[in-house]
Structure 1
Amino acid sequence: MSANSTDSETLLTPAEVAAMFRVDPKTVTRWAKAGKISSIRTLGGHRRFRETEIRRLLDGSAPVED
């Protein structure tokens, strides 16, 4: 897994999220830009995603549409 934020929540990279959903990392970025999933920006401008939210989406609690 990736970096941890100050509240110790595990954050995932777009590539890690893409592997979980079996999509291209650019698709994950498009979902974030469209507001379908929330993301956090690092100081360098990279996107990170909360693992808890991604797990909920994978479990089917909140569908993601492409």
Structure 2
Amino acid sequence: MSMRPVESEPLLTPAEVAAMFRVDPKTVTRWAKAGKLSSIRTLGGHRRYRESEVRELLAGMIPEQRAADDQV
């Protein structure tokens, strides 16, 4: 597994992350403030999220969602 430097890693906007999780972009910002997801600030003060970290979080949430759906 090769680690790419942070500078070359793709970054996602809050809207892109929100679309992946099917939530509101404000929810993604709350996750970042709560420490569930780390964010990078642009020079203009906007949040960006590392694609690899977002995909790891998404992969980790899917089994939990399935388990919750099975219990219903």
Same fold (TM over 0.5): yes
Could you say what secondary structure the match of 1:49 adopts?
strand
4+ residue stretches of structure 1 with deviation over 6 A?
none
Partner of 1:59: 59
Structure 1, unpaired ranges of 5+: 62-66
Partner of 2:66: none
More helix by share: 2
Structure 2, unpaired ranges of 5+: 62-72
Matched, 1:15 2:15: yes
Larger Rg: 2
Structure 1 counterpart of 2:21, one-letter code: F
Could you say what secondary structure the match of 1:7 adopts?
helix
Could you say what secondary structure the match of 1:45 adopts?
coil
RMSD, matched Cα: 1.7
Instruction: Report matched runs for 1:1-66 at 5 Å.
Output: 7-60=7-60
Q: TM-score, normalised by structure 2?
A: 0.73
